[in-house]
Amino acid sequence: MDFNDSPSEAAYRDKARAWLQEAAAAHKAQHGEPKPNTPEHMAAAKAWQARKADAGYACITWPAVVGGGGGTPIESVIFGQEEGKAGVAYGYFTIGLGMCVPTVMAFANTDTKKRFVSPAVKGEEIWCQLFSEPAGGSDVAALRTRAVKDGDEWVINGQKVWTTGAHYSDFGILLTRTDVDAPKHKGLTMFWIDMRDAAVECRPIHQMSGGRDFNEVYFSDLRVKDSQRLGEVGQGWQVALVTLMNERLAVGGSAGPNYREVLELARALPGEDGPALKNDAFREKLADWFVASQGLKFTRFRTMTALSRGQTPGPESSIGKIISANQLQDLANTAVEMQGEYGILTGAEAAAGAAFQQSLMWAPGLRIAGGTDEILKNIIAERVLGLPGDVRVDKDVAFKDIPTGR
């Protein structure tokens, strides 16, 4: 156990830090700090990704031949830490490079890989993942988007939902149903698609948080070539599992204010008897949040160590979102309640730039997106602890005959 850098890691960190210092300065000089969700912000993000790719800091663990850094998982962690400190980070590429492109690399033919991997690494093209559907939800495999073979093409009709970044993505991986007579998991097939096709329509979803970060995506007679298929016909579920496994490995940072921010808020806030930070009940909560946050951070590190040693990491990392989403909701609510009546304010007057109020409205989504608390617990129970699955009434039944209440 060594939470310090080894000499070679220290050297890597020094080099990365030096590069980041210079690169971030040059980047900011050129792009400023554009507002999120603007074309300027996207342009800056793409420029930064290209800069990283040039220097071997994009997709650090991928081989150099596809544009990656040819480095180790620990180097990837080190760079991530330093990039965080440098204050330059964009979220547009996470899903594409963390989930979609790895799936393409695993299942596409050589030409397709050559065509797509390198541009994605350089930030030239952005990918999204099209799995969830209104009727599906937690039950992803219940999807109904149909793909019907027509000569060398497939014709796709249906609807996806909760697609992050569909509106700014260039390509997507799309899970479809190609056989309604097969049992649910056996009639699926995966494709990559061009998101700019006229037969693809994105409609942003208005969230309870007020934002529109996700989309509904409609397909109306979208035609794709059979060469766009990823994996065999009917093997879509197996392909999707690879995507979702990569989702677990995509190491995510924290999604909002944490113990540090709420500590600072409490330090500044008047309580009944000195600063709110003096309150023992708050202090105990603060300790719990710190301990859980550290626990998650080091659990991710343990995953990296397993990867470094050539082992397959277990799904320990699934514990991350269960803890962090619930903690964000509790922490944000505590911070808001601590302000008293003033906590209701969300505009320019709000304490801490309304960060806690925003998190309060965002946290319920975090508990659902990418697998609800309940689904993640099922996954851990079954895959980590080896407990039996739920009694399934939808196995070995033709998809069209499964009860749906409609």
Partner 1 sequence: MDFDYSDDQKFLKDEARKFLGGRCPPAVVRGVLDDPAKSYDEPLWKAVAEQGWLGAAIAEEHGGLGLGRVELCAIAEELGRAVAPIPFASTVYILAEAVMAHGSDAQKAAILPAIAAGERIGCLAVSEGPGALTPSALSAQVEGGKLTGVKIPVTDGDVAHTAIVLASENGKPGLFLVDLTGAGVTRETLESLDPTRGVARLTFDGAAAERLGPAGEGFDLVQAILDRAAVLLAFEQLGGADRCLEMAKEYALGRYAFGRVIGGYQAIKHKLVDIYVKNEVARSNAYYGAWALNASTLKENGAPELPTAAAAARIAASDAFWFASKESVQVHGGMGFTWEVDCHLYYRRSRQLSLVAGSPRLWKERLVSELEKKNAA
Binding to partner 1 by residue 258, rule CB under 8 A? no
β-partners of residue 193 are 172
Binding-site partner at residue 198 among its own copies, partner 1, none, CB < 5 to 8 Å by type: none
Binding to partner 1 by residue 251, rule CB under 8 A? no
> CB 322 → partner 1: shortest distance, Å?
6
Cα–Cα distance between 292 and 328 in angstroms, integer?
Answer: 11
Query: How long, in residues, is the chain?
Result: 406
Structure tokens at 216: 């509904």
Binding-site partner at residue 404 among its own copies, partner 1, none, CB < 5 to 8 Å by type: partner 1
Cα–Cα distance between 375 and 38 in angstroms, integer?
Answer: 34
Stretch that binds its own copies, among 106-114, 164-172, 277-285, 321-329 (CB under 8 A): 277-285
Among 152, 280, 341, 349, binds its own copies (CB under 8 A): 280
CB-based contact 55:122 (threshold 8 Å) = no
Cα torsion through 295, 296, 301, 305, rounded to 10: 80
Nearer of residues 308 and 333 to its own copies, judged by Cβ = 333
Stretch that binds its own copies, among 7-15, 36-44, 183-191, 390-398 (CB under 8 A): 390-398
Nearer of residues 65 and 385 to partner 1, judged by Cβ = 385
Tokens 């009639």 belong to which residue? 187
Binding to its own copies by residue 391, rule CB under 8 A? yes
Nearest to 316 by CA among 330, 302, 328: 302
Q: How far is CA 258 from CA 161, 302, 371, 387, in A?
A: 30, 21, 22, 33
**Which amino acid belongs to residue 221?**
D
Nearer of residues 13 and 41 to partner 1, judged by Cβ = 13
Q: How far is CA 94 from CA 181, 216, 251, in A?
A: 36, 19, 9
Stretch that binds its own copies, among 15-23, 112-120, 375-383, 388-396 (CB under 8 A): 388-396
Number of residues that bind its own copies (CB under 8 A): 9
3-state SS class at 31: helix
Burial (CB < 10 A; 0-12, 13-18, 19+), residue 74, is buried
Binding to its own copies by residue 284, rule CB under 8 A? yes
Structure tokens at 258: 């944490």
Binding to partner 1 by residue 304, rule CB under 8 A? yes
Binding to partner 1 by residue 139, rule CB under 8 A? yes
Binding to partner 1 by residue 264, rule CB under 8 A? yes
3-state SS class at 326: helix
Binding-site partner at residue 299 among its own copies, partner 1, none, CB < 5 to 8 Å by type: partner 1
CB-based contact 51:27 (threshold 8 Å) = yes
Binding to its own copies by residue 267, rule CB under 8 A? no
Binding-site partner at residue 251 among its own copies, partner 1, none, CB < 5 to 8 Å by type: none
Cα–Cα distance between 58 and 45 in angstroms, integer?
Answer: 12
Binding to partner 1 by residue 155, rule CB under 8 A? no
> CB 189 → its own copies: shortest distance, Å?
30
Binding to partner 1 by residue 60, rule CB under 8 A? no
3-state SS class at 188: strand
Stretch that binds partner 1, among 62-70, 92-100, 167-175, 345-353 (CB under 8 A): 345-353
Among 146, 186, 297, 400, binds partner 1 (CB under 8 A): 297
Phi then psi for residue 194, to 5 deg, are: -90, 115
Binding to partner 1 by residue 1, rule CB under 8 A? yes
Cα–Cα distance between 34 and 97 in angstroms, integer?
Answer: 23
Binding to partner 1 by residue 3, rule CB under 8 A? yes
Nearer of residues 29 and 393 to partner 1, judged by Cβ = 393
Beta 127-130 vs 171-177: how paired, if at all?
parallel
CB-based contact 344:379 (threshold 8 Å) = no
Binding to partner 1 by residue 160, rule CB under 8 A? no
Nearer of residues 196 and 309 to partner 1, judged by Cβ = 309
Among 85, 149, 283, 395, binds its own copies (CB under 8 A): 283
- Interface residues with its own copies (CB under 8 A) are 279-284, 390-391, 393
